[in-house]
């Protein structure tokens, strides 16, 4: 499908302080939009960034058919915009869509749309270390209806904005033993808006106790570690990097997958298994808990400072001793900056030919 492009006659870029970018408050000059009705996607287009209007009956607002992706674009020293694993994000969006009874969005159109959008707004890609152009593909149900059923119409849009780091210091996690994020058979693997809504209240309680985010445990026994509020989680115990497996209750994180690939390709010991909070407590007691870190597009790799669990707070070794987390972060940052050789084929340069071809 051809994408119609209408460029903005003006730009807001001069209003942005690129040296002091907060996360997620500034949006670029353009947006991609496409609508679904009569069983098909229609009218893909890039337009000047604008607000959406909607009726109070919009089904996404009532029954939560709303999914999204989080991606980043960077720019190399030659000024070429770079996307990071766009096909994998396009595919994951459709995994979420299937679970939420929403239509799939054509994966080639997804990649084409965001390539063109990033190309048009490439001046907005920050060059500062730790910054990037954050990309938010989103799909919402748009039928106007009181009843509960899958909507027949949807809106898909992609908008972007320059961002600084999501976490500016190592995070304090609270291992949650009252509330749950996801149970087997639920929607935990989907990037569905409701998953985040349900986490806000328990996360607020943890923040009131002085923690930044939750460390979710399984819904049945509060024993097996799942993920953190905005990230997948990794532990380094006795030299082995461990992360919970993709069991249907956690997000299939793109950064998580990169970290596993990077470490495996270098022959470092890595295990995906259902690690328990008790193992983490024991490792902390016997001095073998070397690192814990979160991984996600927004968070990249964020070291964990402490983990609160029941009546204890486990403080991890200083960041200066964290070899694995620091190393994988440097590889991912280097790939994004174009300074580390991409032997995995994850970086997709945005080519001008794609636009004119």
Binding mask 227-246 for ligand COI (x = CB under 6 A): ---x----------------
Cα dist from 196 to 187, 225, 266, 317, whole Å = 11, 18, 34, 30
Pick from 297, 307, 332, 348: which binds ligand COI (CB under 6 A)? 297
Q: Which residue lies nearest ligand COI, judged by its C-beta? A: 70
Sign of CA dihedral 258, 259, 262, 267: negative
**Range in contact with ligand COI (rule: CB under 6 A) among 3-11, 217-225, 240-248, 291-299:** 291-299
When the beta carbons of 131 and 290 are compared against ligand COI, the nearer one is 131
Residues 189/227, Cβ–Cβ less than 8 Å: no
The number of residues that bind ligand COI (CB under 6 A) is 6
When the beta carbons of 213 and 241 are compared against ligand COI, the nearer one is 213
CA distance 2 to 344: 30
- The reply on whether position 131 binds ligand COI by CB under 6 A is no
Contacting ligand COI within 38-97 (CB under 6 A): 70
**Range in contact with ligand COI (rule: CB under 6 A) among 44-52, 82-90, 152-160, 297-305:** 297-305
CA distance 45 to 206: 42
- The reply on whether position 302 binds ligand COI by CB under 6 A is no
Residue 292 β-bridge partners: 235
- The reply on whether position 203 binds ligand COI by CB under 6 A is no
- The reply on whether position 296 binds ligand COI by CB under 6 A is yes
Cα dist from 95 to 99, 109, 250, whole Å = 7, 16, 13
- The reply on whether position 298 binds ligand COI by CB under 6 A is yes
* Pick from 206, 203, 169, 166: nearest CA to 305: 169
Look at the block and give the residue holding tokens 């890039």.
46
Residues that bind ligand COI (CB under 6 A): 70, 230, 296-299
């Amino acid at each position: 499908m051809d994408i119609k492009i209408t460029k903005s006659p003006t730009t807001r870029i001069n209003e942005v302080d690129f040296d002091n970018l907060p996360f997620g408050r500034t949006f670029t000059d353009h947006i991609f939009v496409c609508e679904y009705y009569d069983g098909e996607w229609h009218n893909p287009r890039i337009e000047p960034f604008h607000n959406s209007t909607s009726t109070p009956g919009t089904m996404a607002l009532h029954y939560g058919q709303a999914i999204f992706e989080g991606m980043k674009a960077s720019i190399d020293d030659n000024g070429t915009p770079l996307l990071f694993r766009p096909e994998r994000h396009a595919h994951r969006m459709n995994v979420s869509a299937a679970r939420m009874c929403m239509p799939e969005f054509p994966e080639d159109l997804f990649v084409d749309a965001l390539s063109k959008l990033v190309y048009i707004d490439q001046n907005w890609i920050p060059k500062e270390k730790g910054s990037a152009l954050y990309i938010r593909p989103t799909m919402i149900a748009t039928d106007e209806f009181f009843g509960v059923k899958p909507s027949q119409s949807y809106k898909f849009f992609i908008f972007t904005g320059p961002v600084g780091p999501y976490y500016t210091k190592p995070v304090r996690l609270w291992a949650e033993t009252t509330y749950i994020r996801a149970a087997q058979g639920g929607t935990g693997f989907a990037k569905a808006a409701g998953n985040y809504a349900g986490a806000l209240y328990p996360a607020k309680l943890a923040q009131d106790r002085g923690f930044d985010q939750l460390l979710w445990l399984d819904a049945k026994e509060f024993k097996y570690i799942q993920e953190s509020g905005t990230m997948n989680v990794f532990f380094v115990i006795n030299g082995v990097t461990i992360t919970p497996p993709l069991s249907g209750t956690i997000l299939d994180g793109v950064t998580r997958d990169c970290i596993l690939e990077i470490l495996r390709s270098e022959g470092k010991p890595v295990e995906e298994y259902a690690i328990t909070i008790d193992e983490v407590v024991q490792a902390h007691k016997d001095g073998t808990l070397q690192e814990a870190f979160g991984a996600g597009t927004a968070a990249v790799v964020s070291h964990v400072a402490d983990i609160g669990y029941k009546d204890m707070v486990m403080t991890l070794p200083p960041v200066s001793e964290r070899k694995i987390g620091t190393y994988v972060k440097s590889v991912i940052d280097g790939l994004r900056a174009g300074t580390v050789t991409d032997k995995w084929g994850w970086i997709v340069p945005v080519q001008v030919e794609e636009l004119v071809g």
